[in-house]
Structure 1
Amino acid sequence: MGDITGDTRLQSRILEDVGAASHYRAWLVSLALDALGDEPVEIGSGHGDYAAEWLPHARSFTATDADESRVAFLKERFAGDSRVRVRKLLLPSTLDGGFSSAVAYNVLEHIPDDVAALRSMAAMVRPGGAVIVFVPAFPLLMSDFDRAVGHVRRYRRASLRKAFEDAGLRPRVLKHVNWAGFFAWLLMMRLLRGVPRDSLALRTYDRLIVPAVRASERLMAPPFGQSLLAIADV
């Protein structure tokens, strides 16, 4: 089993603070919808914000986390919904559940053996399903904050593709997401050594900039971005 990397209390605080970025979350939720299927498992569900928005599109949903306190939070949040199962899970894992997909947003960068993690995600998925991963991009953007929350790497397209291929997977989607976020992260996190938090600046960026960037990326895939999305069929 893997280890939990990074300051878990800081991770939880950031999850709570950036929960206000509703336009950004809706954008990321939409990226996985076509591949999610009817019985997905989410690796690293955090406080369940993505799970809550994916749930209406699924028949059942398994939410997981590696941190005990977040598992307890998830159990309380979804206690009244029989469609949701919550469990503690670390990657790599031996879980073999026949899920329609295994989805991990901002998780793989925490795991030293990302190839083993991807192999175990693939083993969770039934034939015809998908492995869906969203990760931070560009080593250039590695900041003190990245290190504090346990990021052991940021990816390039080539390094993420190689991790998938070494795990026996071939991405059918591999693309940069959020070109404007590249510059925002470079300035605020890398150069000014900031920390993401709920603020007027965050809410303004989410309300005004994110919808415009999302619309532009519908028209043309950007050559760079703050993050990378990869989807591979199993």
Structure 2
Amino acid sequence: MLMPEIAGDTHLQSRVLEDLSDAVNYQRWLADLARPYLGENPIELGSGIGDYAAAWLSTVSRITVTEADQSRLKGLVERFADDSRVDVRTLFLPTEERAEHSAAVALNVLEHVEDDVAGLRSIGGLLRPGGAVVLIVPAFPSAMSRFDRTIGHYRRYTVASLGAALTGAGLRVEQLRYINPVGLLGWYVACRTLGLAPHNGPLVRLYDRTVVPLARRLERHGRAPFGQSVFAVARTPGE
């Protein structure tokens, strides 16, 4: 089978994943959002350098981590070489493969898939009946920046557009909401207006220590009308 070309600058994608290693509170937030839906044997799509999978290991019995980029795949193999609970493998979306995982998690991945409905349909095929599809995607087409395009984003979503894609893929939407409204305002200024790219440094650390805890507290008091990302949980047909 021919492997599709990975969209975007893969070296930039890897650099950004490494550059955001200082954003520990932000990574913990996203990991915690997904954690209640993992079940005992989840699969992560686009695992990057494996930080989220490492955070989930205390929760799951076994986890499969995947990557389409061969350099990042090699890093995952090395990182989890001594942990028998972790399976590491190559996976491209869409895929014709079938499995029976308890959940599939894709954090900032779906926007890299040209045919997102086909991608979601194939993600559903990796799950047992009633399995959870957990997504975080960038929000609002108006926030599309040069950085988005360079890194291989085909689109940014609204709650409505992501809901339509999930429904079109035959999945049942369970949760669908915006998260991190403060982050969206910062994105408009830094990336959309000034043309900057996220990277490690004092600004990222300041944002992580001050803005992220505030955003998490605000989320507990009700749904935000907008946000930097859309968070979604959907289920495959069945149980």
Category of TM-score, reference length = shorter chain: over 0.9
Separation of aligned partners in 2, 1:47 and 1:221: 31
Give the gaps of 5 or more residues in structure 1.
none
Residue by residue, what CA displacement relative to the aligned partner does 1:88-108 show, whole Å, maximum 9, x if unpaired? Answer: 100001221200001101110
Separation of aligned partners in 2, 1:79 and 1:130: 27
Which of 57, 60, 67 is matched with 1:58 structurally?
60
Separation of aligned partners in 2, 1:44 and 1:120: 14
Residue 213 of structure 1 deviates from its aligned partner by 1.1
Secondary structure of residue in 2 paired with 1:33:
helix
Which of 94, 97, 107 is matched with 1:95 structurally?
97
Secondary structure of residue in 1 paired with 2:149:
helix
Normalised TM-score (structure 1):
0.98
Residue 3 of structure 1 deviates from its aligned partner by 3.3
Query: Residue 111 of structure 2 corresponds to which residue in structure 1?
Result: 109
Equivalences, count? 234
In structure 2, do the counterparts of structure 1 residues 131 and 223 end up closer, same or farther at CA, with 3 Å as the change threshold? same
Query: Partner amino acid for 2:70?
Result: E
Residue 2 of structure 1 deviates from its aligned partner by 4.3
Residue 13 of structure 1 deviates from its aligned partner by 0.3
Separation of aligned partners in 1, 2:58 and 2:122: 26
Q: 5 Å matches for 1:123-138?
A: 123-138=125-140
Query: Residue 179 of structure 1 corresponds to which residue in structure 2?
Result: 181
Which of 1, 13, 16 is matched with 2:15 structurally?
13
Say whether the 8 Å CA contact 1:2–1:92 is kept in structure 2.
Answer: no
Query: Partner amino acid for 1:18?
Result: L
Separation of aligned partners in 2, 1:81 and 1:132: 24
Query: Partner amino acid for 1:178?
Result: N
Separation of aligned partners in 2, 1:3 and 1:91: 11
Separation of aligned partners in 2, 1:90 and 1:202: 30
Separation of aligned partners in 2, 1:227 and 1:140: 13
Residue by residue, what CA displacement relative to the aligned partner does 1:156-201 show, whole Å, maximum 9, x if unpaired? Answer: 1111011001100121100001000010000000000001000101
Query: Residue 169 of structure 1 corresponds to which residue in structure 2?
Result: 171
Query: Partner amino acid for 2:177?
Result: K
Query: Residue 139 of structure 1 corresponds to which residue in structure 2?
Result: 141
Separation of aligned partners in 1, 2:136 and 2:211: 20
Query: Partner amino acid for 1:187?
Result: V
Say whether the 8 Å CA contact 1:78–1:84 is kept in structure 2.
Answer: yes
Structure 1 segments, 4+ long, off by >4 Å, are: none
Q: 5 Å matches for 1:58-77?
A: 58-77=60-79
Give the gaps of 5 or more residues in structure 2.
none
Residue 25 of structure 1 deviates from its aligned partner by 0.6
Separation of aligned partners in 1, 2:35 and 2:150: 31
Separation of aligned partners in 1, 2:52 and 2:220: 21
